[in-house]
Amino acid sequence: MAQNGDLILTVEKVSKHFGGVQALNEVDFDLRYGEVHALVGENGAGKSTLMNILGGIVQKDGGRVIYKGQEVDFPSPNESIAAGITVIHQELAMLPALNVIENVYMGRMPARGGLIDWKKAEQDTRRELAQVGLNIDPHLLASDLSISQRQLVEIAKALSKNANLIIMDEPNSSLSDAETERLFSVIQSLKARGVAIIYVSHKIEEVLQIADRISVFRDGLYRGTILKSEATVDNVIQMMVGRELRREDLDADRQVGPVRLQVRGLTGERFRDVSFELRQGEILGFAGLVGAGRSETARAIFGADPVYSGEIILDGQKVQFRSPGEAIKQGLAMVPEDRKLLSLFMDLPILFNLSIAIMPRANRLGWLQQNRLGLVAQKYVQQLSIKISSLDDPVRSLSGGNQQKTTLARWLATNPKLLILDEPTHGVDIGAKADIYQLIRDLARQGISILLISSELPEILTMSDRVVVMHEGRVTGILEREQCDENTIMRYAAGLGEETALSPVVSE
């Protein structure tokens, strides 16, 4: 019979790639009964990919997963759940219109005589809720529960499935300190019962508090495991970001001009009191972990999301864009993170995708000037070295890098003075990435102001004149180029920086 300390899970040389991206490269990992084993790493390190393999959501390309002494390969989440593995995702999978009983026993309600046995269902739900210390009416709708209550209901649901291994993905990302302490108390009780827990989190101090061991992934590779007794904030961060970087000097012929954009005390749904300034010809990097609020801040500036309070000042004039269209008319452009979902019409021609932003200008007496659109498209295909067979081909026929170049070309055709780039090299190959870097530098040299959001610290460090770091919706540091290194940025991104490191952000 298995006891606390015995191995429940061993991952050996597991690999997974998505297209040209190697998400996991022969990673190792193991977990014991009654243990909390934290899994940490930068965005894109491979944590979620491993979690999804164990949960049967994606299939590995190679390697072995040994669970309870048997090699396993779960073809779907149902098989993983049946084996005793439950994944609690950051975005909780509760149906708000159903009550707690229905959410806990969804798809497996107890029955008697062909009918749902509601009395037993309620008794069983109360029993599972008691195990996690949650004293609520099980007839409450999920929509009436707090975030912390929903989190505990998800854990109760996992226990109702006799889970031996629970994977928690950023479990306290929306919890208060008191709620976090309650969650940690529940985790300790689960440990005492022999339940094994994989704890995925970006909050390093929290990891040091709750984990027995900490494993670090970086760039899809396993980088090592340390015991709680050996772990410090600094050595965990060093393991997360320890690659050697080559810092490129600023372009000698690029001059940073006067302030173009001032943001003062900007507050929206997922960010608060954000202030910074961006100068003409400057590349201003935005760094932070998942949920930091970088993209939401950029979308609000661009008029795509509402602003609750604060000021946006463009070239000395206060502005408030009620839509992206208004922002575009004032010289702003934005390349969003998810090009397939938010930028490209995948089944429509390259010409359409490249020229859609300038179509209003090419409209004469109700007729589109196709020749003009074609000339503009050809210009940017050549300028950005976009590899195409024909402008009439669907944009999905292009590689990821050329799709991203097409999105960039669309907005460059509007002649912007301020360009927001959200993860501009995500999912592109090394060659395309180098081309995009050179393009960004060329645009800045022309006087275009660049707001660069990236989860790749080498990209932020290599490209940025200054770096704004955000944590949980707030700016925690604004760093000059000479102040920047990976460890410093990661400390601020984890909320561990000092307020005194904030440099002045508003010019009077």
Task: Please give the pLDDT value at position 156.
Answer: 84
Q: Give the C-alpha separation, 29 to 10, whole Å.
A: 6
Mean pLDDT over the full length of the chain: 84
Please indicate whether the domains covering 7-241 and 246-331+416-508 agree at the CATH topology level. yes
Q: At 378, list the tokens.
A: 């050809």
CB contact set of 393 (below 8 Å; sequence gap of 6+)? 349, 350
Taking residues 327-339, report their average pLDDT: 84
* Spatial distance between the Cα atoms of 28 and 18, rounded to a whole number of angstroms: 19
Bigger pLDDT: 3 or 200? Answer: 200
> In this predicted model, what pLDDT tens digit does every residue of 373-411 receive, in sequence order?
777 777 878 777 787 778 888 888 877 777 878 888 887
Residue type, 199: Y
Residue 343: predicted pLDDT:
66
Say whether pTM exceeds 0.85.
no
- Give the model's pLDDT for residue 486: 86
Length of the chain: 508
Which amino acid is present at 283?
I
CA distances from 431 to 18, 181, 343, 458 (A): 18, 47, 22, 16
Question: What is 246-331+416-508's CATH number?
Answer: 3.40.50.300
- Pairwise CA distance, residues 373 & 286, whole Å: 34
Residue given tokens 């074609």 in the structure block: 374
Task: Report pLDDT digits (tens) over 224-271.
Answer: 999 999 998 888 878 886 644 444 544 556 788 999 999 999 999 999
Cβ neighbours of residue 364 closer than 8 Å, sequence gap 6 or more: none
- Which whole number is the average pLDDT over 306-329? 93
Q: Residue range 313-336: average pLDDT? A: 92
Reply yes or no on whether the pLDDT at 39 is more than 80.
yes
Q: What is the pLDDT of residue 234?
A: 80
What's the confidence (pLDDT) of residue 371?
64
Q: What percent of the chain has pLDDT over 90?
A: 42
Ramachandran quadrant class, 423 (left: phi over 0; alpha: psi -120 to 50; beta: rest): left
Residue 298's pLDDT is what? 96
Each residue's pLDDT tens digit, 45-82: 888 889 999 999 999 999 999 999 999 999 999 899 89
- From CA 152, how far away is CA 133, in angstroms rounded? 8
Q: What is the pLDDT of residue 430?
A: 57
* Distance separating the N- and C-terminal Cα atoms of the chain: 71
33 CB neighbour count, 10 Å cutoff? 20
Distance of CA 485 to the CA centre of its chain: 21
Tell me which H or E stretch contains 124. helix 118-131
Phi/psi at 263 (nearest 5 deg)? Answer: -120, 125
Domain boundaries, the chain: 7-241, 246-331+416-508, 340-415
Question: In this structure, are strands 196-200 and 165-169 parallel, antiparallel, or unpaired?
Answer: parallel
Which residues partner with 333 through β-bridges?
419
Of residues 94 and 38, more confidently modeled:
38
Residue 495's pLDDT is: 86
Q: What percent of the chain has pLDDT over 70?
A: 87
Residue 321: predicted pLDDT:
93
pLDDT at 507: 39
Using CA atoms, how far residue 239 sits from 45, 198, 209, 217, 483, in Å, is 12, 19, 18, 8, 20
503: pLDDT confidence band, cut at 50, 70 and 90? very low
| 124-142 per-position pLDDT tens digit | 999 988 888 888 999 999 8
Q: What are 444-487's pLDDT values in tens digits?
A: 998 999 999 998 888 899 899 999 999 999 999 999 988 888 88
- pLDDT score for 367: 47
**E strands present in 92-133:** 111-112, 115-116
What is the structure's pLDDT at 199?
A: 94
For range 164-175, the mean pLDDT: 80
Identify the architecture of domain 7-241 in CATH: 3-Layer(aba) Sandwich (3.40)
Q: What number is the average pLDDT over the span 186-214?
A: 89
Residue 174's pLDDT is what?
61
- Give, in order, the Cα–Cα distances in Å from 63 to each of 15, 45, 241, 478: 6, 18, 25, 43
Average the pLDDT over 486-493 and give the result.
Answer: 90
